[in-house]
């Protein structure tokens, strides 16, 4: 950076140059007569005040508070678009301050713009390693680059857990999905099966019931772990059939993808075949 000022009292024009140490040698002697030079360490320029790993609601909120609180160099590392796993939810109705029921995508729509208004930067990269030497953290990203930071905040959230049944790995992405909002459109007017008994599973079942001809809700227990209001919404859907107290034996298919799954009753060991494409 170059700044000019008038030297008093003889009003001689001088220049003040601030530059990294390694660049000082590039200035010839003839340019140094009327210049004041301030050398700075390049690491001090590049070092982050705060590195935030994760771009969901927690990471975005941390970035907002940090930048509004006075930190100047704050970067949020999120390998995808900010928003987090909540963007895959079809219906959100229990977020504080929320008015109408909305999707997770709609809820998070304005968060990145608000949080970046005060200087938060978003780097679309994955942090693969964090080390510490003294008081300084070093972050290594997936592309092999490193970044130093004075502080690191972990807001990595979670990822969908695999169930571990036969055929899951083979057909993942070819009929097996963990996001009904993302992939439900491909099964419009068709029968599908959904595995789980918590809030997320029942919410996804309700969402799918609006676009699919029938939804088999497969759960290993007779009772659900979801909120009473969520269970009520699910039971009100006429095209949701509850297949409870069963375990998934196998998901099978062909080159085109999933064609069905087999479940076994935990009491009778009876096998039931559900012919569904997803």
Count of Cβ atoms closer than 10 Å to residue 78 Cβ: 25
> What strands lie across the sheet with 127-133, from one edge to the other?
127-133, 136-141, 146-149
d(CA 80, CA 85): 11
In the three-class reduction of DSSP (H, G, I as helix; E, B as strand; rest coil), residue 77 is classed as strand
Q: Choosing from 16, 36, 46, 182, which is the catalytic residue?
A: 182
**Cα dihedral angle (252, 256, 257, 259), rounded to 10 degrees?**
-50
Bridge-based pairing state of the strands 136-141 and 146-149: antiparallel
Bridge-based pairing state of the strands 214-219 and 191-195: parallel
36 noted as active-site residue: no
Q: Which helix (H) or strand (E) holds 67?
A: helix 57-68
CA angle 65–67–68, rounded 5-degree value: 65
179 noted as active-site residue: yes
Q: Choosing from 183, 199, 212, 273, which is the catalytic residue?
A: 183
What is the 3-class SS of 167-193, one letter each residue?
A: CHHHHECCCECCCHHHHHHHHCCCEEE
Q: Choosing from 49, 179, 199, 237, which is the catalytic residue?
A: 179
* Contact of 192 with 276, CB cutoff 8 Å: yes
182 noted as active-site residue: yes
Q: Report the catalytic residues.
A: 179, 182-183
């Amino acid at each position: 950076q170059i700044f000019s000022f008038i030297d008093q009292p003889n009003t001689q024009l001088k220049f003040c140059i601030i530059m990294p140490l390694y660049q000082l040698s590039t200035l010839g002697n003839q340019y140094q007569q009327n210049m004041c030079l301030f050398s700075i360490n390049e690491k001090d320029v590049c070092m982050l005040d705060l590195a935030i790993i994760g771009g969901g609601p927690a990471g975005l909120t941390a970035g907002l508070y940090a930048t509004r609180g006075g930190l100047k160099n704050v970067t949020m590392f999120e390998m995808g678009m900010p928003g987090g796993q909540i963007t895959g939810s079809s219906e959100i109705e229990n977020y504080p301050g929320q008015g109408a029921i909305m999707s997770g995508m709609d809820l998070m729509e304005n968060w990145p713009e608000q949080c970046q208004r005060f200087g938060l930067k978003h780097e679309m990269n994955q942090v693969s390693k964090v080390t510490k030497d003294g008081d300084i953290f070093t972050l290594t990203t997936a592309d092999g680059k490193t970044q130093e930071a004075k502080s690191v905040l972990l807001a990595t959230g979670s990822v969908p857990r695999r169930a571990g049944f036969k055929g899951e790995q083979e057909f993942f992405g070819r009929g097996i999905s963990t996001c009904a909002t993302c992939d439900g459109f491909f099964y419009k007017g068709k029968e599908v099966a959904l595995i789980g008994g918590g809030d997320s599973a029942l919410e996804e079942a309700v969402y799918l019931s609006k676009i699919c001809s029938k939804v088999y809700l497969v759960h290993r227990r007779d009772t659900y772990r979801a909120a009473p209001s969520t269970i009520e919404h699910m039971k009100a859907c006429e095209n949701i059939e509850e297949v409870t107290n069963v375990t998934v034996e196998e998901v099978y298919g062909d080159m085109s993808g999933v064609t069905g799954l087999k479940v076994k009753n935990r009491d009778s060991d009876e096998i039931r075949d559900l012919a569904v494409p997803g």
